[in-house]
Amino acid sequence: MKKLMKAMNYPRLEKDLSKLYRLIKKSKSLLIAGHINPDGDNIASQLALGEFLKSYGKKFTIALCEELPKQFQFLPNVSWVQNIKKNPIVPEDYDLVIIVDSGDIDRIGEIKDFIRPYHTIVNIDHHKGNKLFGSFNLVLEKASSIGEILYYFFRVNKIDITYDMAVELYVSILSDTGSFRYDSMHQEVHLIAADLLSKGVVPAEFNISLYQNKTLDYIRLLALILSRIGLFENDKIAVSYLNFEDFNDGIEQETDGMIEYVGMLDTVSVYLMIKEKQPGLFTASLRSKYHVDVALVASAFGGGGHIKAAGCKTQKLGREEFRNSLIEEIKKQL
């Protein structure tokens, strides 16, 4: 295990993982949350934590401020995820708050409104530029995912990884490495995945849910995105977009993974998708194939993320002005 963790370049990792274990053991009831627009790493890692807490008889709530995306409904014990808009939470019920996969506490959306000064906040993350907002911060920028960090946590503290936990950790890692394709991959991730497979995980059993379970609306939106791709800077930058009115009845539909189609052209180095989530509120997802640091680009607009995958938003700029401003930031690194 020490050899595995050495790749994290985090000298006090074993001590901090032990400290986290002590914090959890001392707590009476926990609130677990992650970032808005939840992805597989976010949801699956929270559920893996929940499995551990349940085995120790801890009271906990996994809180979400929106609907759980359809493709994650197959995860074990997914019913534990509670939409606070339908079932509000009571801050006084918790003494420890664990926030995963969020570089900034604002990323957890409305759940932030339920956090009080008397709460101890644990911040578990792997994003570059994390603002270290927790009472206790466990931030491993070299980790592929929260699932990888939790794997170390369970192993160091001699916590048995059950089949359900193994599925959740595997999905967490799978999601944030782009099915083992992104730069976040390193030798240790394959070793961890192999260990999780030895627990009985069979990826083929849930790959359909993750990758082949799209609605007709998803395909319709994807067709719009492909038809709107614009190329800039000698075809090195690709941009597409969705307007608010593109969503049926003003309800935002799933767009997870669509951005990858924007970057398929061989000449493209950086690609982005702008989405109008609400009238006048634009978000941008940014991706980089090569050397451009899109986290640096996103930071110019108050966002952040990883070197090759980041995001930001604006309510001050229109869509085209937002696009042009992003392109100007990207050009500084081309």
Q: How confident is the model at residue 252 (pLDDT cuts 50, 70, 90)?
A: low
Q: How far apart are the first and last CA of the chain?
A: 40
* Mean pLDDT value across residues 136-142: 96
DSSP secondary structure of 131-143 = ---SSEEEE-TT-
Residue 255 pLDDT exceeds 60: yes
Residue 157 pLDDT exceeds 70: yes
Residue 253 pLDDT exceeds 90: no
Whole-structure pTM value: 0.88
pLDDT value at residue 232: 98
Q: For residue 26, give the DSSP letter.
A: H
pLDDT value at residue 250: 56
pLDDT value at residue 3: 80
Residue 183 pLDDT exceeds 90: no
Separation CA 333–CA 35 (nearest Å):
28
* Mean pLDDT value across residues 253-275: 92
CATH of span 2-210: 3.90.1640.10
pLDDT value at residue 71: 87
* Stretch among 31-40, 129-138, 251-260, 269-278 having the lowest mean pLDDT: 251-260
Dihedral sign, CA of 321, 323, 329, 334? negative
| Residue ranges, CATH 3.10.310.30, the chain | 216-331
Q: How confident is the model at residue 19 (pLDDT cuts 50, 70, 90)?
A: very high
Q: Which residue has the higher pLDDT, 128 or 8?
A: 8
- How crowded is the C-beta side of 288, counted as CA atoms within 13 Å? 23
pLDDT digits (tens, 9 = 90+) for 28-45: 999 999 998 899 999 999
Q: How confident is the model at residue 317 (pLDDT cuts 50, 70, 90)?
A: very high
Burial of 223 (0-12, 13-18, 19+ CB in 10 A): exposed
Asked if residues 224 and 253 have their Cβ atoms less than 8 Å apart, the reply is no
Mean pLDDT of the chain: 93
Asked if residues 139 and 132 have their Cβ atoms less than 8 Å apart, the reply is yes
Share of the chain above pLDDT 70, in %: 99
Instruction: Select from 3.30.260.10, 3.60.20.10, 3.20.20.140, 3.10.310.30 the CATH code of 216-331.
Output: 3.10.310.30
| Residue ranges, CATH 3.90.1640.10, the chain | 2-210
In a 3-state reduction of DSSP, which class is residue 100? strand
